[in-house]
Structure 1
């Protein structure tokens, strides 16, 4: 179980936000590395330095469609007196045995094709007559060279310096260079680089598998008929989306009715595909708070050290919280409150850092900033509680969005920051500086 077992806690004991978070992060450990195919590794964290085995580009190649030439042969070329060169052949991308360019000669060359032996530069087709004998080509005609394989002459109307329009071997990265450092999150550009240097697989920490389930007999799935006394289940959708945004592979489980045995059975069924379990609802002191009833156990001989401890935190919203582990593999479980805002704020403060820790990231927290409070009236906060209010942040200012009620989900949809009022602050006046957690 978590290190919370060593901390005395009475029924009325309040944990601070920092104590609860420290307990979670001291328990959750990064997942073991595995070897994955490149596309399967997207979003994962690299666990080893990757060096470049071959230079990029691996050979000198043309950056233009045109003609490969010797510099001396086009020196002084102009509109009135073009250089007239013999076309000795074509060099296409992928050519393994290109023709040799000698004095007074040129080779038709395509973008990406290797610079042929003897050539020192490439003149774009727009600087030539395209081998058609009709003056400089332009526009659509610049895209149409003389028929492939045709020989003859080409008129070049501009000189070229050495290495003009040539991508040099190793100009991107050289063999032996460090391509990517351990700790890098693999996005599309990083996947592209790995493929370009010939890596088919890479060693990473896998994306955590997070199972999210909500509890409550009043919950109805979106799209179904809403009867009297029922509400749509939004929490499981919000938290599953948030888990994916944090980098996890997230699975949403349909809402579970208020029955402790059903909930316990559902959770145990999900353990096979979970690196982390997240529940929402049923953690307060009501008669139907089944999460506490289902998971408040010390464990048996096979699950020594398992169990979930439920706590009260000195925060608003999100006072009731649960954390521990369950199952033979001691899978971490975070139990969040059921009110939509409480649930989401709790996710950002506690679950997201846990997911990022499982991924093996060093920086697991949302960025924070100082901002000037832009409000019509002072913000109030209960003494001894750390309050998190929704806000819209821009240009160093933050504006409160909605009220402090933990059910105000519409306001949450328009917020991109959390305004933090510390435990010792009971009032924040407009124009004062406050701390904000940036959610976007």
Structure 2
């Protein structure tokens, strides 16, 4: 059987980062920067008030309380030139430019709030409540580096330096299809021998959790021709495709029957549990990657974590590889088949221990829903005693 590491290496050698596009700000959330973003001007671009209050000369606020005439008002967005002379004050609002001559802002809470004259009863230091030009960003300074994922804060600074669009790798568009004649849409009535389709919902959600765009294309039965038609329909909008089911050794395996003759998708056994049957390759002229995952719910999800998630990271222009593992102490003994790397579902606690959940079968989706980690047991280990140190992948 093929090792987990070798299968992932083949996948990562095949998938390519998506080409950068000029994205409008409204479409840039979750994309990965393909350029540095710098500011053409200092931020803030001018000295401005951090509070509602009064712009004054700090030297005038000595013998308290002091009363000063209020000679003007300055609102945020004002572009008129104003000045404060000795012994005067200007009422100022948050974000408004500081008048020439003023070197401090007295918060309105330290005053009587007067509009003709103002009484100030607390001392003020030079520079108080003034945001200096360039104290956040200097003109020409790089604010975001290439490879940064654009979140809400990053989107804010891109807009804040005046950019309307940015060069970035878009979020991969991933189409998810379940296979199996036994599958019924949730909410529908089950006939004998049928089950509700959970895989397409689980995998589409998992795609979105990675930062990619997930499109659930529902399920198809066991007819390879129907599957090929469905794949052909979705290839035009997909950067990657995920199928679940139809990859094992038995009869009625529509994914293998449909894709094996193409010669661009390989079906192999990977030395892991759960998730031994795996398929991977490319489709169409654009060589769209397709991940043919096993049909058991836990098997397909674990396969996604190990293989699809790193591939989507590479497509986004991010570091890729096996999921990062931490160490923990297992609370009970573990068993694993020889020659396979096991990924047992567990609950990782804040005290550094991990407890295997009850129900490790590849079909036991409820047990997976209780877990927050995968306990890794290497291929050459068949038994792990309670209290032993193990590697754990956070979910």
TM-score bucket of the superposed structures, by smaller chain: over 0.9
From 76, 99, 118, the counterpart of 1:116: 99
CA-to-partner distance for each residue in 1:228-255, whole Å, 9 max, x for gaps? Answer: 2110000000000000111111110111
* Map 1:353-368 → 2, pairs under 5 A: 353-368=310-325
TM-score, with length taken from structure 1: 0.88
Q: For 2:256, what is the secondary structure of its paired residue?
A: helix
C-alpha contact 1:402 1:408 (8 A) present in aligned 2: no
Distance in 2, matches of 1:425 and 1:250, equals 37
User: Match of 1:59?
Assistant: 46
Q: Which residue of 2 aligns with 1:304?
A: none
Retained in 2: the 8 A contact 1:91–1:98? Answer: no
Q: Which residue is 1:168 aligned to?
A: 132
- Equivalent residue for 2:83? 100
Structure 1 position 98, deviation (Å): 4.1
Match of 2:330 in 1: 373
Matching residue within 406, 421, 434 for 2:377: 421
Counterpart in 2 of 1:394? 349
- What are the superposed Cα offsets for residues 12-66 of structure 1, whole Å, 9 maximum, x if unpaired? xx11111111000001010100110112111111111112211111111111111
Give secondary structure in 1 for the equivalent of 2:345. Answer: strand
Query: In the alignment, does 2:349 pair up with 1:385?
Result: no
How many residues are treated as equivalent by the alignment? 394
Max Rg structure:
1
The TM-score normalised by the length of structure 2 is: 0.98
How far apart are 1:298 and its partner, in Å? 3.7
Q: Say if 2:273 is the partner of 1:309.
A: no
Give the superposition deviation at 1:73: 1.3
Tell me how large the CA RMSD over aligned residues is: 1.1
Aligned-partner Cα distance in 1 for 2:358–2:179? 26
Q: Specify whether residues 63 and 331 from structure 1 end up closer, same or farther in structure 2 by C-alpha distance, changes over 3 A only.
A: same
Matched-pair contact (CA < 8 Å) for 2:268–2:278? yes
Q: Deviations over 1:260-310 (max 9, x none)?
A: 1001111111100111011000000111111100000245xxxxxxx2110
**2:60 matches 1:73:** yes
Q: Which position in structure 2 is the counterpart of 1:324?
A: 281
CA-to-aligned-CA distance 1:92-141 (integer Å, 9 cap, x gap): 0001014311111100001111101111111111111111xxxxxxxxxx
Q: CA deviation at 1:195?
A: 0.9
Partner residue, 1:284 = 248
Q: Deviation at 1:363?
A: 4.0
Q: Residue 76 of structure 1 contacts residue 158 of structure 1 at CA under 8 Å; is this kept in 2?
A: no
Residue 339 (structure 2) pairs with residue 352 (structure 1): no
- Aligned residues of 2:173 and 2:237 also touching (Cα < 8 A): yes
Q: Does 1:275 align with 2:220?
A: no
Runs (4+) off by over 6 Å: none
Could you tell me how far apart the structure 1 residues matched to 2:230 and 2:341 are?
34
Secondary structure of the corresponding residue to residue 386 of structure 2: coil
- For 2:291, which of 330, 334, 339 is the aligned residue? 334
Cα distance change, pair 273–160 in 1 and its aligned pair in 2 (3 A): same
Aligned-pair distance for 1:367?
2.4
Where does residue 203 of structure 2 map in the other structure?
239
Say which SS state the counterpart of residue 413 (structure 1) adopts: helix
The CA deviation at 1:403 is 2.6
Counterpart in 2 of 1:191? Answer: 155
The Cα of 1:156 is off from its aligned counterpart by: 1.2
The DSSP-based 3-state class of the residue aligned with 2:70 is strand
C-alpha separation in 2, matches of 1:38 and 1:154: 45
Structure 2 equivalent of residue 6 of structure 1: none
